[in-house]
Amino acid sequence: MRMGLESLVDDELAASVEETRAFYVARAASRGDAAAPDPRTPQGLREVRRLEQERAAGVRSPTPPTPPIVEAHAEFAGRTVPVRIVAPEGAAARAVHLDVHGGGFYMGLAARGDERNRALARDAAIAVVSVEYRLAPEHPWPAAPDDCETAALWLVERCEARFGTGRLTIGGVSAGATLAMATLLRLRDRGMAGAFAGAALEFGTYDLSGATPAGRLIEGEYFIEAYAGHAPDRTAPDISPIFGDLHGLPAALLLVGQRDILLGDNLAMAARLCAAGCEVDVRVYPESPHGFTLHPTPMARAANRDVQAWLTDRVARG
């Protein structure tokens, strides 16, 4: 058997390589030697979160965007978590997608995904519920997976009544993909393996323990200490899903950039899912670093189209 990255890269992406490479060269040059805020300090943490708020505000349209966003709360078994909901206008929802934002567990906010989620509602008639989970270091593990599980269980219980469909998918970006996997494992362990029809996972962090070769590449990063530094065993699947029993999970789409430090981690997760009998679709995008689907490049546009098409196909399968 022969395996190589070339088999995971769509040939049509070759036309987007030069423009994408040029974007990141210009981006690096514009940043120069400016030091990023240090989240290990209270002032630095406030600054990175302020910048994240600015980025979320910067992607919003100056005209009233549609479909509108509705702020609500998901409630289950005495737990409550804020959510942002966008539903198709003028059409019934074909499914509901649970979106989990990224940000290294210590920053980020659900509003950062508003435009992508509106596109999914508008173009694919899929309602999106984005969960505003609690952030580390103020709320370390297991606060974030608790909140994501709450939103998932609320949807399982209420989506038919609220959205007119019981069809569910889940997805996440970076730390959000990690939390999406943790959520699926929690639901599977509750005997609800079939609750979600598919998972679209973008460059997740699946080993926070440093016990695997891929995990050692990010060992010592701030986000790991902030989120799970207190945990007695960071190989627990609720923290590092790569170590979980992955049987019984839904079909998964894994996207990752060829220049992402987490490339190996994502390929390892794909292999483990495949070995567990899960349907897995892995796609690698050239010249793309971590977080690339949030950047204005042709490679990001292609990846976002791929996610939407994959979710549409999962929903169509009934």
Read off the pLDDT of residues 106-153 as tens digits, 9 standing for 90 and up: 999 999 999 999 999 999 999 999 999 999 999 999 999 999 999 999
**Dist. CA 297–CA 17, nearest whole Å:** 10
CA 220 remoteness from chain centre: 22
Determine, yes or no, domain membership for 29.
no
Among the listed residues 171, 14, 159, the one whose alpha carbon sits nearest the alpha carbon of residue 93:
159
Q: Are 129 and 97 within 8 A, CB to CB?
A: yes
Q: Which pLDDT belongs to residue 91?
A: 87
**Dist. CA 6–CA 138, nearest whole Å:** 42
User: Which DSSP category does 35 fall into?
Assistant: P
**Dist. CA 152–CA 140, nearest whole Å:** 20
Q: Which pLDDT belongs to residue 31?
A: 83
Summarised one tens digit per residue, pLDDT across range 194-222 is: 999 999 999 999 999 999 999 999 999 99
Which residues, given as ranges, of the chain have pLDDT below 50? 1, 62
Determine, yes or no, domain membership for 264.
yes
User: In which order are the strands placed within the sheet that holds 251-257?
Assistant: 70-76, 79-86, 126-131, 95-100, 168-173, 198-202, 251-257, 280-285
**Dist. CA 317–CA 272, nearest whole Å:** 24
3-class secondary structure, 229:
coil
Q: Which pLDDT belongs to residue 123?
A: 95
Among all chains, which residue has been given the structure tokens 């070995």? 275
Determine, yes or no, domain membership for 49.
no
Determine, yes or no, domain membership for 226.
yes
Label the pairing between strands 79-86 and 70-76.
Answer: antiparallel
Determine, yes or no, domain membership for 14.
no
Q: Are 76 and 157 within 8 A, CB to CB?
A: yes
Q: Which pLDDT belongs to residue 98?
A: 98
Residue-range definition of the domain harbouring residue 275: 69-316
CA distances from 134 to 89, 117, 146, 189, 227 (A): 30, 20, 9, 23, 11
Q: Which pLDDT belongs to residue 2?
A: 56
Q: Are 224 and 136 within 8 A, CB to CB?
A: no
Among all chains, which residue has been given the structure tokens 């999914």? 120
Q: Which pLDDT belongs to residue 64?
A: 65
Structure tokens at 118: 């509106």
**Dist. CA 253–CA 198, nearest whole Å:** 8
3-class secondary structure, 298:
helix
Q: Which pLDDT belongs to residue 129?
A: 98
**Dist. CA 168–CA 199, nearest whole Å:** 9
CA distances from 78 to 25, 74, 81, 153, 161 (A): 49, 10, 10, 12, 20
Determine, yes or no, domain membership for 20.
no
Determine, yes or no, domain membership for 77.
yes
Q: Which pLDDT belongs to residue 59?
A: 55
Determine, yes or no, domain membership for 178.
yes
Q: How many separate domains does the chain show?
A: 1
Q: Which pLDDT belongs to residue 3?
A: 61
The CATH number of whichever domain residue 198 belongs to comes to 3.40.50.1820
